[in-house]
Chain A
Amino acid sequence: MDLNFTDEQKAFRAEVRSFLEQKLPKRLSDKVRLGQRLTKDDYEEWHAILNERGWLAGNWPKEHGGAGWNAVERHIFEEETTAAHAPRIVPFGLAMLGPVLQKFGSKEQQEYWLPRILNGDDWWCQGYSEPGAGSDLASVKTTAVRDGDHYVVNGQKTWTTLGQHANMIFCLVRTSKEGKPQEGISFLLVDMNDPGVTVRPIVLIDGEAEVNEVFFDNVRVPAENLVGEENKGWTYAKYLLTHERTNIAGVGFANAGLANLKRIASLEQSNGRPLIEDPLFAAQIAEVEIALMAMATTNLRVVSAAAAGQAPGAESSMLKIKGTVLRQEINALTKQAVGPYAMPFVSEALEAGSNVGPVGPDYAMSATPHYLNNRKLSIYGGSNEVQKTIIAKAILEL
C-alpha cells in the first residue's frame, strides 16, 4: 500500500501543469470557470492545441496517434485540466468511437476515420437512445436493411448531445429481429449530410439546446460503414461501456466544483459573516468533501487495477452513482450558496461576449442552469437505477 504517486507520475503532472499554464487560452478557461457556454469553435480550438502536443487522445495507443497513457496518467491529466478550467474533451469521437474502431474496425476504417477524429475533420455524435429505448437500450427500433452495397436506415434517435455540431453519427441499428433483442443490433456509421437525415434540437430546462433528436428517413449508408460484424453491435457498445469508464466518477469535475463552491461561500455574507463560517452550511460542504476524498481513492483503486490490465466490473457502476450524486450535491450547494441571485435567469449573460452582463455577482449566473442541467448526470450513460441493478446482479448472482 502506497498512497503516493511515483516520481515519473509526479513529473508527468508537472509537465501537464506547465503545458496548461502556457497553452490553455485564458479566454477559454474564463468561460469554463464562469460556466458560460462553449461554442463549436471553442472546442475545436482546444482540441487542436492538445492534438499539436499529441495529448488529444490520451487513451489511444501510440500506433493510432494517441498518447498511449495508462489509466493513472489519464487520471492525472484529467485532474490537472479540470483544475485549470480547461474545456472538456468532447468524448464522442475520441473516447467512444475511437476505441471501438481500434478494437473492432477494419484496417481501412481505422486508417480513414482515426486521423480524421484527431484532426477534427469530423465531429461525431452518438446515436444510441431512442424514444422507446432509454434504460432499455436493447429495444432499439431504428432499422438498417441491406440493399445491394448499402444499408437503408429508418427510425429516430434522441438525446444526441451536441448533435447540432456533428457531421457524423455512430448508431446502434436493428439489422435482425431474430433471437434476443441484443442479438439483432449492428454498429453503423452514418453521414449526417446524407439525404434523409434531420436534426431537431431539444430545449432543456436550463434554456439550452445541447441535445437533439435525429431522424432517419430512407437514408442510404454504404455497407463499408458497418463496424465489425452484422448483429454484433451490442457487444461493441458494451465493450465501450466497460472499458472506457475509468473517468466515469468525474473526480476532476467534482474537485473543481467543490473549489468553486468554497470560493463562493467565502464571498457570500450571511448574518454579517462569510457564509462558509456558518456551521450548518460548512457542515454540508464538509460532508461532500469527506465523501469526495474517499471516492477519489476508490477511483484511484479502480484506475490502478485498470492500469494493471484488469477490466473494471461493478466498480464502474459504483463510481458512476457516487460520482454523479456528489456532483449533483455540489451543484445544489452552489445554488444554495448564491442565495437570491440564483433566481435571475439571464440566458444572454451565459454567452461570452454578449453585451448583457450577469445580474448580481458573475459567479451566480450559472448556478441554477448547472444545477438543472446536471440532473442529467444520474440519468444518462445508464441511469443510476440501471447501475444499481448491475451491481445487485453482480453481488447477488441471482
Chain B
Amino acid sequence: MNFQLTEERQMLQDGLRRFLADAVTPQALKAAEETGSSPEIWAGLAEMGVAGALFTEEQGGFGGMGFDLMTVFEELGRAGATEPLLEILLAGGLIAELGDAAQQALVEQAAEGGLQLALAHGEPASRFDLERVETRAVKAGEAWTLSGRKSVVVNGAQADRIVVSARTAGEVGDRDGISLFLLPKGTAGVEIRDYPLSQGGRAAELVLENVELPADALLGEEGRALDAIETAQARGTAALCADALGAMETARALTGDYLKTRKQFGQPIGKFQALQHRAAEMLIEIEQARSAVINLCGHLEADRATREIHVSATKHLVGKAARLVAEESIQMHGGIGVTEEYDLGRFARRLSMLDQRFGDATYHLGRFVRLKAA
C-alpha cells in the first residue's frame, strides 16, 4: 500500500497548480465562456505537455494511467479551469485505442495542444444510456452517409475533429451495431448550434443530414465500438470525479475562510457550533469522495466488470458529495454565496452539473445494484 503520488506526478501536480492559480483569471474565464477555451491557458497547458499525461507512451504520451488522470483533473477542478481537456481524453482515447496509424497521428497532435477534439455520442433521447444510438450510418460504395442528432456535444463547435457514433446495424438499444467515425470540422451537412454551459465551457447540438464521409473516416471495427465507448466513459468519469474533488476542495477552503472572517452577533460565524458541525460533515464527505476517486482510478485498468462497479460506485458517491458541498458552501456563506461576483458561485455551478454528465447519483445507484447482481 502506498497512497503517495509518484515523483513525476507530484511534479506535474505542483506545476499545474502553480500555473493555473495564476492563469485562471476572470479575463481568461470570459474568453473560455465565449470561445470554449482561453488561448493563454490552452497554450500554457500545451507548453507543460499536460495532455501528454492522459496517454500512454505507446500512444504518444507519458502517462495514461488512472492516477495520471486524477492528478491532472483534480487541479483543473481546484482552479475552476474550463479548458476542454476532458474532450481530448474522451475522443483522443477512442482514436488511440481504435485508430489506424494515420488516425493515431491525431492523438499526438492533440497531446501537443495543436488540435481540438470532441466526442458526439449522446442524443436527445438517450439520456445516460450508452447503447441508445439512433443516428444511422449507411455505406454506399466507398462512402458513408450519416443522419441523426447529437446532443450536448461539449466543445462540438470548436473541435477540429469530432468522434461521432452512429448505428451501422441493429436496433436502438442494441449493444452491437454501433460504429465510430471521424468527422472533420466544416463537413457539409452538419448543422451546429453552439451555446454556453452552466459549468463553463461550451457545447453544441449537432444535426447530421446525409453527411457524407469517406471510407477511411471509420474508426475501428464496424459495429463494435460500444466497448471502447464504455471504456472511454469510464476514464472520463474518473476525470470528471477528480475534477469535482478539486472543486470541492476549493469550495471547502472558501467556506472555511468565510466562517473565520464573517462576523454576525459579535463573533466570527465559525464560532457557532451549528456551523462547525456542518463544516465537519462537509469535510468527512470530501474525504469519502477522495477515496472513491482513488478507488476508481486504481481500477481503471481492471477487467470490465470490476471497473464498471467502481465507475458506478464512485459516480454515485461523488455525485452526492458534490451536491452536499455545493449546497452547504452556499448556505454557510449566505447571500454572498449565490452572487456571480464571489468566487464560490462558479465552483458551486460546476459541482451542481456533475450529475448531468455520464449519469447522476440515482442512475449509478441502480446501475451498481445491477452490476453487483450480475
Interface residues of A (CB under 8 A from B): 129, 132, 134-136, 139, 158-159, 202-205, 207, 211, 268-272, 275, 278-281, 284, 328, 332, 335-336, 338-346, 359-360, 368, 371-373, 375-376, 378-380, 383-385, 388-389
Contact among B198, B263, B331, B348 for A345, CB-based, below 8 A: B198
Q: Report the minimum CB–CB distance from B78 to chain A (whole Å).
A: 19
Main DSSP-derived SS at the B contact region: mixed
Interface: B327 (CB within 8 A): yes
- Once the chains bind, are A271 and B129 in contact (CB under 8 Å)? yes
- Once the chains bind, are A360 and B331 in contact (CB under 8 Å)? no
Q: Report the minimum CB–CB distance from B221 to chain A (whole Å).
A: 26
- Once the chains bind, are A372 and B338 in contact (CB under 8 Å)? yes
Known: A205-B348, A341-B151, A368-B352. A375 touches B366 (CB 8 A): no
- Once the chains bind, are A340 and B127 in contact (CB under 8 Å)? yes
Contact among B274, B338, B348, B353 for A376, CB-based, below 8 A: B338
A278–B355 CA distance with the chains assembled, in angstroms: 17
A340–B128 CA distance with the chains assembled, in angstroms: 8
Contact among A207, A345, A378, A385 for B275, CB-based, below 8 A: A385
Which residue of A is nearest B154, CB measured? A343
List 9 A-B pairs, Cβ < 8 Å: A139-B265, A278-B362, A339-B127, A343-B199, A343-B203, A368-B352, A372-B338, A379-B331, A388-B274
Contact residues in A for B152 (Cβ distance below 8 Å): 340-341, 343-344, 359-360
Interface: B334 (CB within 8 A): yes
Q: Report the minimum CB–CB distance from A184 to chain B (whole Å).
A: 16
Known: A202-B341, A376-B338. A344 touches B203 (CB 8 A): yes
Contact among A280, A328, A368 for B198, CB-based, below 8 A: A368
Contact residues in B for A275 (Cβ distance below 8 Å): 127
Which residue of B is nearest A269, CB measured? B125
A280–B129 CA distance with the chains assembled, in angstroms: 16
Contact residues in B for A379 (Cβ distance below 8 Å): 330-331, 334-335, 337-338
Known: A135-B334, A343-B203, A343-B357. A280 touches B197 (CB 8 A): no
- Number of B residues near A (Cβ < 8 Å) is 49
Interface: B55 (CB within 8 A): no
A159–B334 CA distance with the chains assembled, in angstroms: 11
Known: A202-B339, A269-B125, A343-B198. A336 touches B264 (CB 8 A): no
Contact residues in B for A335 (Cβ distance below 8 Å): 352, 355-356
A278–B129 CA distance with the chains assembled, in angstroms: 13
- Once the chains bind, are B128 and A375 in contact (CB under 8 Å)? no
Interface: B365 (CB within 8 A): yes
Interface residues of B (CB under 8 A from A): 122, 124-125, 127-129, 132, 151-152, 173, 193, 195-199, 203, 205, 263-265, 272, 274-275, 323, 327, 330-331, 334-335, 337-341, 345-346, 348-349, 352-353, 355-357, 360, 362-363, 365-366
A222–B57 CA distance with the chains assembled, in angstroms: 78
A36–B327 CA distance with the chains assembled, in angstroms: 24
Which residue of A is nearest B346, CB measured? A205
- Once the chains bind, are B338 and A360 in contact (CB under 8 Å)? no
Q: Report the minimum CB–CB distance from A314 to chain B (whole Å).
A: 17
Which residue of B is nearest A202, CB measured? B339
A4–B178 CA distance with the chains assembled, in angstroms: 58
Contact residues in A for B198 (Cβ distance below 8 Å): 342-345, 368, 372
A272–B173 CA distance with the chains assembled, in angstroms: 8
Given pairs A372-B338, A373-B338, 12 additional interface contacts (CB within 8 A): A136-B264, A205-B345, A271-B129, A272-B129, A278-B366, A332-B323, A340-B128, A372-B352, A375-B330, A379-B330, A379-B335, A388-B274
- Once the chains bind, are B125 and A375 in contact (CB under 8 Å)? no
Which residue of B is nearest A131, CB measured? B336
A339–B356 CA distance with the chains assembled, in angstroms: 5
Which residue of A is nearest B274, CB measured? A385
Contact residues in B for A284 (Cβ distance below 8 Å): 362
- Once the chains bind, are A342 and B195 in contact (CB under 8 Å)? no
Which residue of B is nearest A358, CB measured? B195
- Once the chains bind, are B197 and A343 in contact (CB under 8 Å)? yes
